[in-house]
Structure 1
Amino acid sequence: MKSSSHSSMFVPNWQSPANVGACQSTRCEGASLAPYSSFNLGLHVGDDPLKVLKNRAHLDSLLPNPARYVQQVHGTDIHIVNDESSTDTVIADGLFTNLVGQPLAIMTADCLPVLLASKDGTEVAALHCGWRSLAGGIIEKALPLFQSKPSLIAAWLGPAIGPMAFEVGVEVRAQFLASSAEHELAFKKHRDKYLADLALIATQKLNRLGVKAVSNQSECTYTLNDKYFSYRRDGETGRMASVIWRKF
């Protein structure tokens, strides 16, 4: 990996209310060794658990409380974190809460992280949007959890594998076109396959459902190897986290 001047975290630039906090991790300035160097937050990828926990502790030091994670399986289940929630590991690909001071974390290494916040800042969600979760309807399942109307929800799309790097088969394109012909704009023919634009698909879905305030980080995890982990590029690698919480 090339030497990097990037920091371990940055704050998303999006239309979020003052009482919502959010941050995005990079691969930089952590404790993990190659191939997980350096700020790996994934305990499930083969890295030294003590180094991962050291990285997670650094992240938690920047948050009002420890981040809540889920065991992600490329599905569409969304776990609602409330006062009765246990801290046991939950299998899901999204988190939702209206609790104050409870950070929600989604891990990625090419899949698209989507953060959602009501414009009054009382409700937040974090979604793990790989193509399977997007095709399965995770965004469609998340929005009804909000009391706010979709027109009063803002979305941030984090770093993910970009539209020039994400090659998929004809069957993936067919799944999306079956739900909406509009998704054809998100696919470009590439030899006998297609290049897919995850961020565009997510934006189309959000817009169609009434969410108009969509901000896109527009950074490709596959090509920015000094800043981000990429599973498709490296295979054995770490994970970034996208985190959101209600401040008050």
Structure 2
Amino acid sequence: MNEFIVNWPAPQWVKTFTTVRQGGVSVGPWASLNLGDHVQDVPEHVAINRQRVEQYIKVKPHYLKQVHGTTVVRLDDRHDSAPPEADAAILSTPGKAAVVLTADCMPLLFCHATEKVVAVAHAGWRGLAQGVIEKTIQAMGVTTDQLLVWIGPTISQSNFEVGQEVRDVFMQHNRQAASAFKQTSKPGKWQANLVALAKQQLHQLGITAIYGGETCNYQQADLFYSHRRDVGLTGRMGYFIWIDDPMQSNV
């Protein structure tokens, strides 16, 4: 199955998998490996796509009901019949995978160099401004000096126009955020750099081991979905992380 490679020096027991839009059964604007069950795609197609991913990674993914918020759930002992409403999840035991879905927003994977705990977060500008990164790290309960973070494909600054109110929100919390906004020729409109804003927050938390963040999903329609590029009618990529079980043969 096609994937976008997570390139970071994580411990051997940390396993990851990230999808591109190829390799599924969805058609039309959702072609083909759409994992989102809330985007008007045929439910049976989404179910087949999710099943293909689960069979490939050989561990049960636990999806979230993402709401652009800051709620973090611990998945170890959860057995929900419906996805929990949250935008980040953490795990410290094998047997299941934490996952977020994106199509412009920023996906982040977290692991620790020595402690067996992993996490994943979905960060659009709202979640980023409200502190989803900090809350995810707090929920992991580990020291930040040995934390590794990987940033997945995210809409780039040149393709992400926002209003004055978005810039104001970030500026209220951090004056350095000004460097992540470029003014356009339109009054009150700015181009926002989500990756730069995330890196600022991570650095303030004492995290320097930051990887990824160079890929723009908006610019590569053959590989990635984009909510903005496709005017809202599109699929979702998945970003998975889990702890390896030595008794099983995982990817």
TM-score, shorter chain, exceeding 0.5:
yes
| Residues 115 and 142 in structure 2, CA contact (< 8 A), matched pair in contact too | no
| Residues 72 and 139 in structure 2, CA contact (< 8 A), matched pair in contact too | no
Mapped partners of 1:19, 1:63: distance in 2: 14
Report how many residues are paired. 242
Unaligned 5+ segments in structure 1 are: 1-6
| Residues 90 and 118 in structure 2, CA contact (< 8 A), matched pair in contact too | yes
Moved more, 218-227 or 80-89: 80-89
Deviations 1:25-64 (CA, angstroms, capped at 9, x unpaired): 1111210001100110001101111111111111111223
Where does residue 115 of structure 1 map in the other structure?
Answer: 109
Q: Structure 2-normalised TM-score?
A: 0.93
Mapped partners of 2:215, 2:102: distance in 1: 13
Where does residue 245 of structure 1 map in the other structure?
Answer: 242
Where does residue 125 of structure 2 map in the other structure?
Answer: 131
| Residues 77 and 138 in structure 1, CA contact (< 8 A), matched pair in contact too | yes
1:202 to 179, 198, 205: 198
List 4+ stretches of structure 1 deviating above 6 A: none
Change (3 A) 1:82 1:29: closer
Q: Structure 1-normalised TM-score?
A: 0.94
Give 1:172-191 correspondences, 5 Å limit. 172-191=166-185
Partner SS, residue 28 of structure 1: coil
Where does residue 4 of structure 2 map in the other structure?
Answer: 10
Aligned Cα RMSD in Å?
Answer: 1.3
Offset of 1:102 from its aligned partner? 1.7
Deviations 1:181-224 (CA, angstroms, capped at 9, x unpaired): 11111111112211111011111101110111000241111111
Where does residue 4 of structure 1 map in the other structure?
Answer: none
Q: Is 1:236–2:230 an aligned residue pair?
A: no
Change (3 A) 1:224 1:24: same
